[in-house]
Every structure is written in C-alpha cells, then in structure tokens.
Amino acid sequence: MLSPNRRSFLQTLSTAGFGALLAGTALPAWSRQLERSLADYSSFDADKLASEEDFWYSIQQAYTVSPSIINLNNGGVSPSPRVVQEAMKRFQDLSNEGPSYFMWRILDQGREPLRANLARLAGCHPEELAIQRNASEALETVIFGLPLKAGDEVVLSKQDYPNMINAWKQREKRDGIKLVWVNLELPSEDTAYLIQQYSSAFTTKTRIVHITHIINWNGQILPVRKIADAAHDRGIEVLVDGAHSFAHFQFQLKELGADYFGTSLHKWLSACIGTGFLFVKKEKIEKLYPLFGAPAGQETNIRKFENLGTRPFFIEQAIGKAIEFQEMIGAERKEKRLHYLKNYWMEQVKDLSGVEIGTSLQPGFGCAIGLVGVKYRKPADLDQFLFNKFKIHTVGIEWENIKGVRITPHVYTTTKQLDLLVKGIREFVKSGV
C-alpha cells in the first residue's frame, strides 16, 4: 500500500509529466526512475528497504551532487534535492519581477501554511514555531533572550557546539551568570551515566540546562527526555540544540521535554542553505526577548521572533518542497537507511589494527554520523589521505577529548561510495605500518 504522502508525490510527478508531455518533452529520467522505485518498493518495510541499493540510487538521482567528489561531510551542511533547488530558483525569479509585491504580498502568504507543515513534521503546535535562518539564530535567540541575572547557573557541556558555547560565554561576561560545565566521555551507551553527568551539576541556582541532542563531533545521541525530566523535577528549564537531530531520526517535539529547541533545516531536512526553526513552549514565549525588537502586541506571539527585516523569502518558501521530499521517503525509512549506512562502513573497519571507533553502533546512541581514528595518527592526515587519493570529502575533528575523522553520509550516499571509504581507511592504516 502506498502511503498518502508517497501517493501525492507520485501524483505531483504525473501531473508534472502530463504538463511536460503537452509541452512536447517527457519527464526527466531521474524523475521517471524515482516514480518507478517508489511504486516498486512501496511494500518494503523500513528495515528491508535500508539495504535496497536500487531504491536509494533513485533517491541519489533526485539530487545534483557532484560525481567528482564523494561528499561525506553532510554533517557540516547538506545539499538540497532538485525539487527544492528548482522551487527556490522559481521563487527567486518571481521575487525579482517586483520584490516588494511578489515577496511581501505573494510569497509571504506561504508563511503560515509553512509554519503549520513544519509544526506537523516536528510534532508541536504551529503557534510554538518560528521560522529562522539556522540553528545558531534560533538557539542564540534563547541564549540572549532569557531573563537571567548575575549568579544564575547554566549547565552545558564541553562537547556542545562552539557558536552556542561562545554565546553563553558572552552572557557570562556581560551579565555575570555562572557556566557549569559537564565533560562527557564519549561514545557512551550508558544512559544512567549520561543523565548523571547533567543531574549532578544541578544546584538550587541552576536556571537552565543546554543539551545537544546529537553531539556534532561524533554523532552521540543524548537521552534528552530523561535529562529534561531530571531538570524539570528541580524547576530547571531545558534548551535543546537539535541542529543534527531534526529530520535525522524520529522524535516528536511534544514528547522530547524541551522548553526551547533550535534546529537548522539545511542539514537533515535538505532544505535550502540558510533555513532553520525555533520552538518555544507556548507558556514561555512571553518572557523570552526576541533578538530583533518586536512591535507592541506581539508579546505572547511566536511571530515576535521573525522580525528580521528584508531577507530571501524564496529560500524560506522552498522549505515546503523539502518537507514533501522528506515525507516522500518517510521518516522511519530514512532513519533506518542512515543508521544502516553508518554501520555498513564502521563494521568493516572497526577491527582493523589501530583503528579507533568514536561512535556507538547501537540505535538510540548514534545514527548517520560516525567518527573514526587511527592510533598515533592525526585526524587531519586521514582526512587529507582520503581526499588526495579517493576524492572523499570528510572532516578532521580535534575538540576537547574527541579526536577522529567524522564521516557523514546522507540519503543520497550509496554503499559503493562507502566501499571506497573502507578501502581508503584500510590503505591509510597499512601506510603507517
């Protein structure tokens, strides 16, 4: 049985096909192949589909990624599929026909439907979701907007993202708040240990805990709900950095336990570069100052976080196409495929002499992102070796107690490409013997 989302995507393709036929041209090959694959594999469950290369090859063809490099740094930022790129270009062309009319009066009419669609995908109320340009903007709105005073404590970890750490440090300098640091030993499959690291840092002065849902350095998934429960039991608020979790693995915001949550959409949703959202629990909106001043009357309105001024609405509006693409694949299928890809390469290198694996292979503790290192060798050397010899683009990580090369496939990555990665890691190991 086809899901309603996949059926509607197919209908869109067929309608496009009818129009194209009228215009004397056929649907492009990638789109015909995708249409066939979606139908052929519609009865496969997520586990079975995870290893069906023909299906995922059709997904790859829906992207325009370069065949001259193998991009395994989707953890940095991800490309968009063609449908998203094309929508963005159409909306940009339209904007240039008369920006103030087409952007503000026409395209902006898409803002509320977009808010509703994103909220449906995220599992929250639309009145709790503000559209932003990236995770940094969303999270810094919270970091700088919370009414905190000198002596108030914030619990965060050394393994959080630098932009967020820097923002908190700025508040420490400016307002005299106290930062209480957790230092995580990762990877970990010990939920009790992870909760304990945070809860033992809580005091009567703690006002908020900052939790990174997926640690970007090595892909560790943290037990956010359980840490949030421990925080809420003591009246402590919870800010979640979901830059890497949203549209990567499945969860619903209303069940996560976050009071505030920020994410980028140009990572795992494959929306255009420069997109994100901020979630603020309804009852918390009033006390949170926006980064950009808002007009009177908007105090309890989530839209008070969207007074940014003139910006590319065409980028924002193309998010809708990325949501369709996500739903066409299906969240469970995507999660299982991403997990499969990470484990596919890691299983093949983990027992090589000198290889150090920095990410859990277990669902619940890791998904697509994997970290690998070789004893006594620099991460930057492995990163360079993979690129120079195999044109595999990765990133070397040396941050606090985390060291290795981060490998991040996406839905368009094939196992053939990962076979080359495995070959590259094997050759690097041999080259040091």
Ligand X SMILES: Cc1ncc(COP(=O)(O)O)c(C=O)c1O
Binding footprint of ligand X on the chain (CB under 6 A): 134-136, 161, 163, 212, 216, 241, 243-244, 264
Closest CB to ligand X among 281 and 406?
406
Peptide bond into 187 cis (omega under 30): yes
> Distances in Å between the alpha carbon of 294 and those of 91, 146, 286, 297?
27, 15, 12, 9
Structure token digits, residue 249: 């693995």
Closest CB to ligand X among 51 and 163?
163
Residue pair 331/247 in contact by the 8 Å Cβ criterion:
yes
Counted residue by residue, the chain has a size of: 433
Closest C-alpha to 318, from 92, 65, 15: 92
Beta-bridged to residue 132, according to DSSP, are: 276
Minimum CB–partner distance for residue 161 and ligand X (Å): 3
Give burial (CB, 10 Å; 0-12/13-18/19+) of 180: middle
Minimum CB–partner distance for residue 291 and ligand X (Å): 13
Minimum CB–partner distance for residue 139 and ligand X (Å): 7
Minimum CB–partner distance for residue 2 and ligand X (Å): 34
Closest CB to ligand X among 319 and 374?
319
Minimum CB–partner distance for residue 335 and ligand X (Å): 18
Minimum CB–partner distance for residue 3 and ligand X (Å): 30
Give the DSSP letter of residue 269.
S
Closest CB to ligand X among 161 and 340?
161
Minimum CB–partner distance for residue 278 and ligand X (Å): 11
Taking the C-alpha atoms of residue 214 and residue 339, their distance in angstroms, rounded to an integer, is 14
Residue pair 343/319 in contact by the 8 Å Cβ criterion:
no
Closest CB to ligand X among 144 and 161?
161
Closest CB to ligand X among 163 and 301?
163
Closest CB to ligand X among 37 and 275?
275
Closest CB to ligand X among 8 and 188?
188
Taking the C-alpha atoms of residue 433 and residue 114, their distance in angstroms, rounded to an integer, is 55
- Helix ranges, 318-412 (H): 319-329, 331-349, 379-390
Sheet holding 178-182, edge to edge: 129-132, 276-280, 260-264, 237-241, 206-212, 153-157, 178-182
Minimum CB–partner distance for residue 411 and ligand X (Å): 18
Pairing of strands 370-374, 402-407: antiparallel
Closest CB to ligand X among 207 and 248?
248
Minimum CB–partner distance for residue 212 and ligand X (Å): 5
Query: What is the dihedral angle through the alpha carbons of 96, 97, 101, 103, rounded to the nearest 10 degrees?
Result: -40
